[in-house]
Structure 1
């Protein structure tokens, strides 16, 4: 890939807080797709006082695309990094520092030059790391909810509070998944089918109850590959779905979104109380008798897992999706630790 030398030098000057006059580089793809690519850029930088410093920096290039119900999400991360949201984080829970951001309106594309975080992520996260992430998320959301810093009112490009609800209703109205679990051809276990049918029956009243919960700033993609544990702290990447949501949405993602299936029930039991403990440091949650995380998991991931099950030809993936649904079923009768 081709990188403009002046852009690289600008980003590295901000990273090292000194003037960089030249730099060589190599690039390695970290992840990529049709609308966005992330690269690790490494090399050696020369400063104005002739020092040579090895560096690592992440380049994220995002092109315009449209997410269902959230058309401006493609540029949200650029907008958030251009705001003062970074001032709301703590040392224990934050996003990567941004050293340079630029947007090309003509090409509908932006670049972010970000801090490289070296740590544990994905399915390598341990139960203690899950629990810490839940606790720190609760503290972050609780503090913003209680303090209402002015920066929250200045954020214009956030996903809407009803995104979760509308996404569920969209799935529920889709015959491919709705009719399948009710059909004679359905090969899912009976208890799983009944679990999904039951949540549909009670969804309206459950959603009404959830909508009485505190409205908090949600990451909305709070799953293991976006979490990095480093030196006892949590760094959170990929903020393009960030927006207003209800208490517990992000914890539902942490537990159920392509997570560690064998430990899902254990992490449900551990992470829910850790999350509420963190939130309660700043806000009183005593009026909430039922946290609804189990229901949120079903509303957010029940039909999505059925969709994934139906649209893969890989038998091992089918088995994984069924296993995930079965673990969600087990959560219903699994007490959350106090």
Structure 2
């Protein structure tokens, strides 16, 4: 649990509630977290200078320093973005949670971000229409930035590198535990799936060359259902710590394949990719792009990762889920 100072709490609540807060009580409840960070729900009642008691609810995200492969400063990226004027790039229908206060402890290599609690539909509860809306709004957001090239965006120094996806794939491919497994006689993954993954390896240079011809856009890079909230007809996107420069369609690979709705995965691919390009096309002409490479991006980003998850699964149901996901990716590939 995070240490909450009364002085900080009243400062944050004064901004959140739009009135001077002199004191407040609080309770905390873990939302999710791990070894490198914690996300807590903070609730309670705040007292104003005229004696009113106002209930409140907000989120405290504490992030400790750690190094993500090929992206060492990602741990502080969300703090850096919230301290900039990045929020000016959003629209009424697509945004991130409002930040009330952000602070950095250089001694502890830790950031704390006090932010808006989002009450909406997320994760497995998202419907097909919500998936499609999220894809279209992301496309619109990226298309606007791509077309307008705002100076603010060019001034941001802590963004992940355009080669992040490529480096991620090559890193996974270098693991003999997964690379060798799909080529071994002991492999229990269906042969057609292994052949699909091996085929990507054999054509990797050609595939990456095609991807690198796509427009470079600002990617979220963690665009999966747990970070997408549908609230009152709007899309609110959480967790921007992996965001940076990437390729058109890169985030769609995450939306379709990253622990998504496996039963509707192929149908959502068919719906979301056109919706994404529709949103992007409102600001930039991409009619000349006939090869979107999203299928290949899915395999580059999630092929070996799914093999790893399968190998480390603790139950037959988990293994079956990962095989089902890979089968769906195979089915998407047959439509290309």
Please give the TM-score of this superposition, normalised by the length of structure 1. 0.98
Conserved? CA contact 1:255–1:267, under 8 Å? yes
User: Per-residue displacement from partner, 1:25-81 (whole Å, max 9, x unpaired)?
Assistant: 111110121110001001111112322111001000110111011111111110010
Q: Secondary structure at the match of 1:216?
A: strand
Please give the TM-score of this superposition, normalised by the length of structure 2. 0.98
Q: How many residues align?
A: 335
What residue is the counterpart of 1:121 in the other structure?
Answer: 122
What residue is the counterpart of 1:331 in the other structure?
Answer: 332
Q: Secondary structure at the match of 1:69?
A: coil
User: Per-residue displacement from partner, 1:268-313 (whole Å, max 9, x unpaired)?
Assistant: 0000000000000000101211111111101110011001111223
> Aligned partners of 2:291 and 2:43: how far apart in 1?
49
Q: Secondary structure at the match of 1:3?
A: coil
Q: Secondary structure at the match of 1:14?
A: helix
> Aligned partners of 2:217 and 2:65: how far apart in 1?
27
- Structure 2 gap ranges (5+): none
> Aligned partners of 1:238 and 1:132: how far apart in 2?
19
What residue is the counterpart of 2:110 in the other structure?
Answer: 109
> Aligned partners of 2:93 and 2:204: how far apart in 1?
36
1:35-50 aligned at under 5 Å gives the runs 35-50=36-51
What residue is the counterpart of 2:219 in the other structure?
Answer: 218
> Aligned partners of 2:4 and 2:322: how far apart in 1?
40
- Structure 1 gap ranges (5+): none
> Aligned partners of 2:249 and 2:28: how far apart in 1?
38
User: Per-residue displacement from partner, 1:184-208 (whole Å, max 9, x unpaired)?
Assistant: 1111111111110111111111111
How far off is 1:170 after superposition?
1.3
What residue is the counterpart of 2:18 in the other structure?
Answer: 17
